[in-house]
Amino acid sequence: MSRIDASLPSRFSRRSVVEVLREYAIVVSFLALLIILSATADHFLTWINLLNTLESGSIYGIVAVAFTVLLIVGEFDLCSGAIYVFVGIVAAKLQPDLGTWPSLGIGVVAGLGVGIFNGLIVTFLRINSFIATLASSLMVVGIGTEVTNGFQLYIPDPDFAVLGNEKFIGVDYFIWIFFVFVVIGGFVLSRTKLGRWLYATGGNSEAARLSGINTRAVRIGAFSFSGFAAGVAGAVLISRTGTAIAGDGLADVLFPAIAAVVVGGTSIQGGRGAIWRTVLGIFFLEFIRNGFNLLEVNPYYQAIIQGAIILVAVGADALSRGTK
Amino acid sequence: MSDSASVGGGPSRTAADGALGVVVRGISKRYGGAQALEDVSLSVAPGEVHALVGENGAGKSTLGKIIAGAVAPDAGEILVAGRPVHFHSPRDAIREGIALIHQELQLVPALSVLDNVFLGAEPSRGGFVDRARQRERFAELAAHIGFRQSPSVRIETLRVAEQQKVEILRALVRNARLIVMDEPTAALTRIEADRLLEITRDLRDHGATVIYVSHDLGDVLALSDTITVLKDGRHVKTGPARGETANGLVTAMLGRSMDLTFPPRRQPPEGAPVVLSVKGLSRPPAFEDVSFDIHAGEIVGLAGLVGSGRTEIARAIFGADPSTGAVEIEGTRLQPRSPGNSIRHGLAMLPESRKDQGLIMVRPVRENVSIAHLREVSWHGIIQAARERSRVAEVLNSVDARAANHSMAISGLSGGNQQKAAIAKWLVKTPKALLADEPTRGIDVGAKRAIYELIHRLAEQGLGVLLISSELEEVLGLAHRVLVVRSGRIVGEFVGKQINEETVMRAAFGETGMGAHGDEAA
């Protein structure tokens, strides 16, 4: 026994250096960026600028919250971008007949439905979730194109624009919605049995199952949540723009969402991560964009730097598990 | 044969063109807390079949792998043909002419026989694989060992016995002059095994040395020239196979081990109620028609060789794998048979592999301990942090698991403390019965002793315990009653004074089979 215990500290300390780096890298980077930008850019630390940041980060932020949950449970959802677009098409198609709120509601339910479908095929057919959701996203895009014949739908009704454009206490509705997703997602993950089930399933599915957890149900639940969140984000989008056109939503919503989650430090290997990380990730990436614009940095460089940041985040994650 | 045990630098050099001799000196190897090999010295003469035998966990496979470069020893030296060598990988060993045929075959299922045979050793011409030369060489070697399948069929379509021949071909293509075979007949039918023994003899007769790792004493006696017995990672004896009997080997394999002591057994009270009842449980081909009862306070050992179906039985009882038959906890039939339902009725399982099945390594100690009984520490689905903290601290304390910080990842604990935590997780709500599969695997002696005491204490508190262990002594030293499994069936039950190594081992190996092979060899 003594021999084991003696060999522990050295191994543990080396591991924990990587561990601590991975754990708090986003916090340190976020604060550093905040300080630098406040000092160098004049209009950075203002209420208006904060609201602007939230305005551009909230819609994909809703998707990012769900994506965080999905990564924690050890899965991936490439379909949520397609759902996001598809929900807008459904709502725009139904709005003239059913009115604004029922059509948006049905759109969100459709998103939820696709999410459940994804969960079922991943758990029961045991298809890798990356491939399964890639396939289902192609199907969803195809259905959207078929429904619209490839044309753009336009809903001029001012009632339809409420969700995406009205404010409550000076803050956009959809920022409040994002806020609700963050609070509920954060609470569920950190304080509830369901949260523990999600972490356990993603951390070690077999151990979770042998601890009495219905890991299939947990996975299906995570996919359903992802579909639902993409649906809500899609409903916000269609209401905000009034126009819908078939597409996969990858560049608009899914990629920024994935980037924020990963940069925040949620492990792509499952079992580790948190909603607050994703929130910091969103702010971090938005600040970079925002700050670069204020500093008038060439947009091409912005993309390169963002890509590099994601690589560093994922690399740190791999490193923390790769050291045996 | 014993004269060859003193092969030093000089004589074996002459054999360098043919078979290889190997001498190992003072080899030690430790896995985590477990000493797999301790100061083992051994000499393998060129051109002999040298068997390594011993119980599960005796260290025979590890020794074989060290000689073939698949495992690096912590201490000691290896001399090949009299020269000291340092293998960092199996590639280093193959360069010296030593090949390993693994217990789990190491072929690429989707590639053809030919590709597998030449994988990594492709004869080439100007950077391109020379197919024609490959086929020629393949045909020659295949005829030699009697491999009749087409070289272009995919590995995954072959039977295990044929795949094994492909492994042997792989070794021959690399000009192996010493082949280590690790439990080669374990997955074969009798006829296939006999054929493999023939091939092995033939390899020897054509100038190869074979190190044959097996727990099948019949095969060993029928095949080998020299037999080495290992026990608890130590060398027990090496001697000629001629004149050796299965009986003598078993006695040598058992011996008494020094460093394990068991706490005194207290009998469960007379007429204690049945807590766990298993009726006609089947999951073919793993096991069939398994029935037994465990009473409150009773420790029942499930003994048997690796692969006999012990673990599968425990998993099926717990509902981790589907099976037919019935499981009752205190008379209540479990329906459905899922881990969740088993846990709700008071059944707990400590799985075979702590790392893969028991714990969630990336999560904190605390979460690992509370995960199976979150209901105990939550209110309407919300975790009550203070209650969880104190309950987890309490159970970890009760099993004497030492963790400085319950919020750190459980991977940071020592193996022994991890295992204690894995047991503690089932004590958050006291279960009725515990299925403990390899409860002391990979932990050091001190922690082992602590876990033995813990198992006793749980039994005294009225739990029924099913104990599975590859270390027979553990089963013998802890259990009130021992069930022996062989080939998926319970073939023996021993109580009280009937429990001894001899009877249990005989039942586990299968008395008749062992006798018959013994006669064959004599």
Q: Distance from B322 to chain A by nearest Cα, in Å? A: 13
Q: Is residue A1 part of a domain?
A: no
Fold of B2-97+176-254: Rossmann fold (3.40.50)
- Read off the pLDDT band of B33 (50, 70, 90): low
Assess contact for B423 and B399: CB atoms under 8 A.
yes
- Read off the pLDDT band of A10 (50, 70, 90): very low
Tell me the mean pLDDT in the region B264-278: 86
Q: Structure pTM? A: 0.74
Mean pLDDT of chain B: 84
Cβ of A200 and B375 within 8 Å? Answer: no
Q: Is residue A107 part of a domain?
A: yes
- Percentage above 90 pLDDT, chain A: 56
Contacts of A267 in chain B (CB under 8 A): 362
Lowest mean pLDDT among B12-26, B262-276, B411-425, B500-514: B12-26
Backbone dihedral angles phi then psi of residue B103, each to the nearest 5 degrees: -60, -50
Domain with CATH 3.40.50.300 in chain B: 2-97+176-254, 259-346+431-522
Tell me the mean pLDDT in the region B124-141: 80
pLDDT for position A5: 38
Cβ of A200 and B358 within 8 Å? Answer: no
**Distance in angstroms (rounded) separating the CA atoms of residues A237 and A209:** 39
Q: Which member of B359, B409, B447 has the closest CB to residue A1?
A: B447
Nearest to B287, CA basis, from B342, B324, B326, B319: B324
Element (H, E) at B229: strand B226-231
Q: Is residue A5 part of a domain?
A: no
Interface mutation vs chain A, best among B334, B360, B418, most A CBs within 10 Å: B360
**Distance in angstroms (rounded) separating the CA atoms of residues B78 and B42:** 10
- Read off the pLDDT band of A186 (50, 70, 90): very high
pLDDT for position B326: 95
- Read off the pLDDT band of B321 (50, 70, 90): very high
Nearest to B50, CA basis, from B63, B38, B37, B39: B63
Query: Which chain B residue has the Cα nearest residue A12?
Result: B412
Contact residues, chain A to chain B, C-beta under 8 Å = 1-5, 8, 12, 15-16, 19, 191-196, 199-200, 203-204, 206-214, 267, 271-272, 321
Cβ of A200 and B342 within 8 Å? Answer: no
Contacts of B360 in chain A (CB under 8 A): 199-200, 203-204, 207-208, 271
Assess contact for A100 and A157: CB atoms under 8 A.
yes
Assess contact for A258 and A78: CB atoms under 8 A.
no
Q: Does B367 touch chain A (CB under 8 A)?
A: yes
- Read off the pLDDT band of B42 (50, 70, 90): very high
pLDDT for position B259: 46
pLDDT for position B441: 79
**pLDDT tens-place string over residues B328-355:** 999 999 999 999 999 999 999 999 888 8
Q: Distance from A210 to chain B by nearest Cα, in Å? A: 6
CA distances from A33 to A26, A52, A181, A258 (A): 10, 17, 25, 20
SS (H, E, C) B317-335: HHCCCCCEEEEEECCEECC
Peptide bond into B285 cis (omega under 30): yes
Tell me the mean pLDDT in the region B365-381: 95
Assess contact for B147 and B195: CB atoms under 8 A.
no
Cβ of A196 and B382 within 8 Å? Answer: no
Domain range enclosing A92: 18-322
Tell me the mean pLDDT in the region B6-34: 63
Neighbours of B353 (CB within 10 A): 15
Q: Is residue A97 part of a domain?
A: yes
Strands B299-303 and B464-468: parallel
Backbone dihedral angles phi then psi of residue B519, each to the nearest 5 degrees: -65, -45
Q: Is residue A167 part of a domain?
A: yes
ipTM, interface predicted TM-score of the complex: 0.86
Q: Distance from B450 to chain A by nearest Cα, in Å? A: 11
Tell me the mean pLDDT in the region A160-172: 87
Q: Which member of B339, B362, B416 has the closest CB to residue A212?
A: B339
The count of C-alpha atoms lying within 13 angstroms of the C-alpha of A298, restricted to the half-sphere facing its C-beta, is 3
Q: How many domains does chain A have?
A: 1
Cβ of A4 and B416 within 8 Å? Answer: yes
**pLDDT tens-place string over residues A285-323:** 998 888 788 778 888 888 888 888 888 888 877 777 654
**Distance in angstroms (rounded) separating the CA atoms of residues A212 and B203:** 52
Q: Distance from B1 to chain A by nearest Cα, in Å? A: 39
SS (H, E, C) chain A: CHHHHHHHHHHHHHHHHHHHHHHHHHHHHHHHHHHHHHHHCCCCCCHHHHHHHHHHHHHHHHHHHHHHHHHHCCCCCCCHHHHHHHHHHHHHHHHHHHCHHHHHHHHHHHHHHHHHHHHHHHHHCCCCHHHHHHHHHHHHHHHHHHHHCCCCEECCCHHHHHHHHCEECCEEHHHHHHHHHHHHHHHHHHHEHHHHHHHHHHHCHHHHHHCCCCHHHHHHHHHHHHHHHHHHHHHHHHHHHCEECCCCCHHHHHHHHHHHHHHHCCCCCCCCCCHHHHHHHHHHHHHHHHHHHHCCCCHHHHHHHHHHHHHHHHHHHHHHHHCC
pLDDT for position B252: 81
- Read off the pLDDT band of A12 (50, 70, 90): very low
Assess contact for B50 and B212: CB atoms under 8 A.
yes
Q: Say whether pLDDT at A9 is over 60.
A: no
- Read off the pLDDT band of A256 (50, 70, 90): very high
Answer with the residue of higher pLDDT: B110 or B363.
B363
Q: Say whether pLDDT at B516 is over 90.
A: no
**Distance in angstroms (rounded) separating the CA atoms of residues B44 and B228:** 10
**pLDDT tens-place string over residues B429-446:** 999 999 999 998 777 666
Q: Which member of B340, B363, B375 has the closest CB to residue A200?
A: B363
**Distance in angstroms (rounded) separating the CA atoms of residues A53 and A57:** 6
Q: Which residues, including other chains, have CB under 8 Å from residue A310's CB and lie 6 or more apart?
A: A259, A262, A263
What is the dotted CATH code of the domain comprising B259-346+431-522?
Answer: 3.40.50.300
pLDDT for position A323: 43
Q: Say whether pLDDT at A221 is over 90.
A: yes
* Beta strands per DSSP E along B17-90: 22-31, 34-44, 49-53, 75-80, 83-85
Q: Is residue A175 part of a domain?
A: yes
Assess contact for A66 and A215: CB atoms under 8 A.
no
Nearest to A160, CA basis, from A224, A90, A96, A256: A96
CATH number for the domain spanning A305: value is 1.10.3470
Most confident of A8-22, B37-51, B406-420: B37-51
- Read off the pLDDT band of B32 (50, 70, 90): low
Q: Does B407 touch chain A (CB under 8 A)?
A: no
